[in-house]
Amino acid sequence: MQHDMSSMHGMAMDKPMAAHGAGGTSLEPGNAPAPAPPTDHYADRIYPDGAMVDSRSMLQKEHGGSTSSMIVFNLAEYQIRNGRDGYRWDGEAWFGKDLDRLVIKTEGEGVNREGIESAEVQVLYSRALDPYWNLQGGVRYDFTPNPSRAYATIGIEGVSPYWFDMEAALFLSNKGDVLGRIEGYYDQRITQRLILQPRIELNLSAQDVPENRIGAGISNAELGLRLRYEVRREFAPYIGVSYDRKIGQTAHYARADGEDVRATSFVIGVRTWF
């Protein structure tokens, strides 16, 4: 038995296709506000009045509106260099929600048998600008070197295109000094657990600050390359090299004080978070 497929095709083409209603991911793109959440919950048809209120409250808290916290040390290392071994740390802690957080940062370094050379703490309010960038403002206090300084702080941090982690900040001291800092790093995964991290940090000053031995312009630069192995995601020992160079008037101050203006260190440390 033969079928006239051409006639069947023609009949099908004569009938208009039923239009599909727009919804879900087929909606037109735009910037209209999100629809209001539903208030007619199906579960209320089955369970007694009020029985599901606590469950819905817990669900909302655990998905998008929860408060969380984290403590992370990106650097916690021992530095081996010619005759002046030392140590360095760089870490932060935050507490809050997706948009608003309290952030505490600390970093510093020292030399064995000579004590801490520099140490600072920042207390900041952080506000999310978008999924990748946060605007931060607050205060910074330098415990050393002496004389100590307090600073008003404003900065930005986040992830740039191609997944570079970036931070930039301006500091205005209680003496009117203006300082700046730019730093960034990139995690290049060699395997799922082995990660190579190049890192750069630049410190800047708008003026000479002789009492703190800081010169105008770029005061110092640090370049680092660290290879870490994630025993667990939250515990990753590393080794690497770090090169630190004082520049300009800051280098002149160092020479006048009998200090080296450059240092190359072999570093052993751990990156950890909890």
| The two structure tokens encoding residue 32 | 């209209």
Question: pLDDT tens-digit profile of 255-270?
Answer: 999 988 999 999 999 9
Through-space distance between the first and last CA atoms of the chain, rounded to whole angstroms: 74
Location of structure tokens 């190579």: 196
The pLDDT of residue 9 is above 60:
no
Identify the CATH class of 68-273.
Answer: mainly beta
d(CA 95, CA 123): 12
**Which helix (H) or strand (E) covers residue 8, if one does?**
helix 5-14
Cis, bond preceding 145 (omega within 30 deg of 0) = yes
> Given this model, what pLDDT does residue 8 score?
45
pLDDT digits (tens, 9 = 90+) for 36-50: 777 778 888 888 878
pLDDT of residue 246: 96
Position 197 confidence tier, pLDDT thresholds 50, 70, 90? very high
Which has the minimum average pLDDT: 3-7, 96-100, 125-129? 3-7
The residue ranges of DSSP E strands in the chain, in sequence order, are 68-80, 86-96, 100-111, 115-128, 133-144, 149-160, 164-173, 178-185, 188-189, 194-205, 217-229, 235-246, 262-273
pLDDT on residue 16: 45
What are the boundaries of each domain within the chain?
Answer: 68-273
Phi then psi dihedrals of residue 6, to 5 deg: -65, -40
pLDDT tens digits, 150-176: 999 999 999 999 999 999 999 999 999
**Interval 57-98: pLDDT, tens:** 787 777 766 788 999 999 999 999 987 899 999 999 999 988
Predicted confidence at residue 218, as pLDDT, reads 97
pLDDT the model gives residue 23: 52
Mention every residue, 6+ apart, whose C-beta is less than 8 A from residue 126: 94, 96, 100, 101, 102, 103, 134, 135, 136
pTM of this structure: 0.78
